[in-house]
Structure 1
Amino acid sequence: MMTIGNAETTVPAYVSEPAGQPKGALIVIHEVWGLVDHTRDVADRFAAEGYLVVAPNLLADTAMTPELAQELQATLIDPQQRSKVQPKLREVMAPLHAPGFAERTNAAVQACFEHLNGIPAVAGRVAVIGFCFGGSYSFSLATQVPRLRAAIPFYGHADFSDEQLRNISCPVLAFYGEKDKALTDKLPELEARMAAAGVDFNDVVYPGAGHAFFNDTNSWTYNADAAADAWNRTLAFLDANVAA
């Protein structure tokens, strides 16, 4: 772990380094559960593939700890217990909707980008990948940082204006589960708006999969076939747009 940032913004982050010369650098943004072991494991997987990885804890200032995240997820999986945990879940998630949270979070992600881009071995070869909450902030970083080499949002929201979309200069590869209707129902419109904005946008929708299909620690949502295919596509995308 290390602290990344500047005089205005700091964020604790997990850093995972490759064994040899890095192919490039990657910001890995966690789900809404915070920087849990699963996110660290994903960071380590990318490091094993040759990338220098920073995974910020964007919920460090909230009550969401790895222990609480595990407890909440376990309870949500049980239909008989789900209603009992909803008040606690709303309480813990409330700061994410508070005024200023999105601005502070975007600033923290940008600080991670500047940190990586300032390392000579990977300067100019920084990408972002995120899941759920992190997928949304991956989209957001792409609208704000033209030097970003690639963005890979997994089941993230992209509620941006046409002007913001026109700011995206990197290729975007987005993944969705077919059952995640809150996102897939809006996908045709997003595809059209991305095309109109001139964005190199590609998406993959996995039949039979739902939200959070990549998280192999969540037996309720994990889809092994979709996760394996998305992993292979992600590595190929990074090789073509970051490592090349």
Structure 2
Amino acid sequence: MPESLSLAASGEQFDVHIARPEGEPIGGLVVIHEIWGLVEHIRDVADRFAELGWLVAAPDILTRGGLEPALGEELFAVMNSADEEARTAAQPRMRDALSGTRAPEYAGWAVAALEATVDWLAAQPGVGGRLAVTGFCFGGTYAFLLAADDDRIRAAAPFYGTAPSPADIAKIRAPILALYGRHDPSLIDALPDVVSAMSAAGVDFEPVVYPDSAHAFFNDAGRRYNPVDATDAWTRVTRFLRAHV
């Protein structure tokens, strides 16, 4: 059954959605939300992983940055509507809501919150050090960062996230399966350099690029959802995480 708890990082509380498996967990999994925050879609993804046997913790690291889940749901609905005028009008609200994430100290706090989430998972009965992370968009970026910062992570599966600097890539010890849509220019243009940096650092890095998809192709509530590629990505990620954890 899904539940919630409150953890702290640098003295600041944050909420975590917990999804437990029916029996003994196959491992502990951190699920990091998109730029919309800990909305229903991400809680559903966490619950789906739990159905496969994972003990899942999905932390809310965006309320601290200025975007609470209720506002995230509202902005997501507008930005994914067919009304182009409404989408354009909502962009300043989106920028204002996310202004806190641009503060110099925010990224450090967010990684500390993710580490606190890993601490909690690692202490749970049956996890036994079998720890992994996945994330989407904003969360994909932080999945990379968590893998670089915490060597307890045994596998990482970022969806359309921005890879860290070569210096941070050199810290990664976990294998990485990274998923992208071809029609996501900034990430695809950067991918050759990411592959080179991963190779130079000796990281086991497997990028998968879906030729017919764009950014956010996995989000079944969004207008860019690609059900065929999302299904394939789910199969790949669940097999990858199980194999490495």
SS of the aligned residue for 2:212 comes to coil
C-alpha root-mean-square deviation of aligned residues, in Å? 1.4
Unmatched tracts of structure 1, length 5 or more: none
Q: Quick check: 1:43 aligned with 2:46? A: yes
How many aligned positions are there?
240
Residue number among 158, 171, 178 corresponding to 1:174 in the alignment: 178
Q: 1:57 aligns with which of 37, 56, 60?
A: 60
The reply to whether residue 191 of structure 1 matches residue 191 of structure 2 is: no
- Counterpart of 1:68 in structure 2 is 71
Which structure 2 segments of 5+ residues have no match?
none
Counterpart-to-counterpart distance in 1, 2:76 and 2:127:
36
Correspondence 1:14 to 2:46: no
Structure number with higher strand proportion: 2
Q: Show the counterpart of 1:112.
A: 117
Give yes or no for contact 1:177–1:209 (8 Å, CA) kept in 2: yes
How far apart, in 2, do the equivalents of 1:222 and 1:62 lie? 26
CA drift at 1:215: 0.4
Q: CA deviation at 1:6?
A: 6.0
* 2: CA distance, partners of 1:24 / 1:128: 11
Give the % identical residues: 45
Match of 1:3 among 2, 6, 12: 6
Aligned-pair CA distance for 1:206: 0.4
Cα distance in 1 between the residues matched to 2:37 and 2:204: 29
SS of structure 2 residue aligned to 1:81 = helix
**Residue of structure 2 aligned with 1:141, choices 137, 140, 146:** 146
Deviations 1:18-41 (A, max 9, x none): 001111110000001110001110
Between the aligned partners of 2:12 and 2:217, the Cα distance in structure 1 is 32
Is the 8 Å Cα contact of residues 9 and 107 (structure 1) preserved in structure 2? no
- Contact between 2:14 and 2:64, CA under 8 Å: does it hold in 1? no
Give how far 1:7 is off.
6.7
Distance 1:74 1:14 in 2: 21
AA aligned opposite 2:119: E
